[in-house]
């Protein structure tokens, strides 16, 4: 029936993500503050494919969450929404059947085979799979909502996380 | 040096995407019009992980562009921006080193192991890799731009494509 389903898909990193996050801490989402940066370092064969990227304000970064060791669970309790249990696909947890990470970050500059961005929510050394331009209207949906996040007690605190605003936890 | 780079990454489809697009036509971006729909059909082991997803207005759909046979090129001429050549990573072409597709679509309903959405820019039978909630503010960047698209002659026509508005080509 679902023939395409059984195939294994093999991907190859196009580079690596450099961030200050080593050990056991990385933020839950990109941080838009000015200080600090991440670097997307591409393998030489991909350098010229970065042309024109700096004309965009934002990009999508797609990566492989290579440090995940746990098995995925169909329902999870997000660390930043204590007490709330939700379906895995309604969450951004990296512990998924395919641990693909997706982040929207701002370009600071593009230089010699690398893209410098604001701080991304990935560990240092994360394999980079793809970079795509984030295009106004196509990607910035004005009528998007917060889903189940608005049902959580103290959702105003969660919104600080979403906005990447520094605060005491 | 870039040790993590050399690893091959193996993913497994979590399901399949059903669309009306067979043969050699699919749109360049999702179509938000009311008529027509796409179905993301999950394998049974993932059904319960869809809980709470319907509370979101939009989702990210991540998929594998399985029909791509060409090799990627570092610089391309997007079909919808005739005459313009840009770096591959500054484009949304599916012919990429890792042919991962990413689309933002609206949820129509979630039912019995499947998500019904507006028409997505993927061929019928496309392997589904992941579904993530699209979260207000985290993902809807108000200050996003159009990048090089504004440099193209007749960009107002391109914006119709981006907006998924039906028009004669």
Q: Is the pTM of this model over 0.80?
A: yes
User: Do the Cβ atoms of A96 and B64 come within 8 Å?
Assistant: no
Highest mean pLDDT: which range of A2-16, A71-85, B104-118, B147-161: B104-118
Using CB atoms, pick whichever of B9, B72, B131 lies closest to residue A64: B9
> In terms of CA atoms, which chain B residue is nearest residue A10?
B10
Asked if residue A3 is part of any domain, the answer here is: no
Residue where the block lists tokens 């059947």: A97
Q: Which ipTM value was assigned to this complex?
A: 0.93
User: Do the Cβ atoms of A55 and B9 come within 8 Å?
Assistant: no
> In terms of CA atoms, which chain B residue is nearest residue A16?
B5
Asked if residue A168 is part of any domain, the answer here is: no
Structure tokens at A34: 């000015």
Interface-testing mutation among B138, B142, B155, B165, with chain A (most A C-beta atoms within 10 A): B138
CATH of the domain at A76: 2.40.30.70
User: Do the Cβ atoms of A102 and B102 come within 8 Å?
Assistant: yes
Predicted pLDDT of residue B7: 78
Q: A165: which residues sit within 8 A by CB, 6+ positions away?
A: none
In terms of Cα–Cα distance, which of A114, A2, A108 is closest to B43? A2
Asked if residue A2 is part of any domain, the answer here is: no
Give the total number of structural domains in chain A. 1
A-B C-beta contacts closer than 8 Å: 262
Which has more pLDDT, A38 or B157?
Answer: A38
Chain A residues with CB under 8 Å of B147 CB are 52-53, 55-57, 133, 135
User: Do the Cβ atoms of B74 and A159 come within 8 Å?
Assistant: no
Q: Return left, alpha or beta for B36; rule: phi > 0 is left, psi -120 to 50 is alpha, else beta.
A: left
Say if residue B6's pLDDT is above 70.
Answer: no
Predicted pLDDT of residue A1: 37
Asked if residue A108 is part of any domain, the answer here is: yes
Which uninterrupted H or E stretch holds B117? strand B114-117
What is the C-alpha to C-alpha distance for residues A68 and A86, in angstroms, rounded to an integer? Answer: 20
Q: What is the mean pLDDT of residues B47-64?
A: 98
* Percent of chain B with pLDDT strictly greater than 70: 93
Asked if residue B15 is part of any domain, the answer here is: yes
Asked if residue B168 is part of any domain, the answer here is: no
> In terms of CA atoms, which chain A residue is nearest residue B95?
A130
Q: What is the mean pLDDT of residues B44-55?
A: 98
User: Do the Cβ atoms of B136 and A126 come within 8 Å?
Assistant: no
Predicted pLDDT of residue B31: 84
Asked if residue B64 is part of any domain, the answer here is: yes
**Helix boundaries (H) for B47-137:** none
pLDDT tens for the 169 residues of chain A, in order: 344 556 799 999 999 999 999 977 888 888 877 788 999 999 999 999 999 999 999 999 999 999 999 999 999 998 878 789 999 999 999 999 999 999 999 999 999 999 999 999 999 999 999 999 999 999 999 999 999 998 988 888 888 877 767 666 5
Asked if residue B70 is part of any domain, the answer here is: yes
Domain span holding position B79: 3-162
Distance from CA of B154 to the nearest CA of A (A): 17
Using CB atoms, pick whichever of A5, A131, A148 lies closest to residue B127: A5
Number of H helices, E strands in chain A: 1, 9
In terms of Cα–Cα distance, which of A120, A139, A110 is closest to B144? A139
């Amino acid at each position: 029936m679902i023939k395409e389903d059984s195939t294994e898909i093999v991907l190859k990193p196009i580079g690596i993500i450099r961030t200050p996050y080593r050990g056991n801490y990385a933020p839950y989402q990109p941080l838009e503050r000015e200080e600090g940066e991440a670097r997307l370092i591409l393998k030489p064969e991909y350098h010229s494919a970065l042309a024109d990227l700096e004309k965009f304000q934002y990009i999508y970064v797609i990566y492989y969450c290579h440090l995940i060791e746990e098995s995925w669970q169909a329902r999870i309790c997000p660390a930043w929404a204590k007490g709330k249990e939700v379906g895995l696909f309604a969450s951004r947890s990296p512990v998924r059947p395919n641990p693909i990470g997706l982040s929207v970050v701002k370009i600071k500059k593009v230089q010699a085979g690398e893209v410098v961005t604001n701080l991304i929510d990935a560990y240092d050394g994360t394999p980079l799979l793809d970079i795509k331009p984030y295009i106004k209207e196509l990607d910035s949906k004005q009528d998007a909502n917060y889903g189940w996040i608005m049902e959580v007690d103290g959702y105003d605190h969660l919104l600080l996380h979403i906005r990447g605003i520094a605060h005491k936890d």
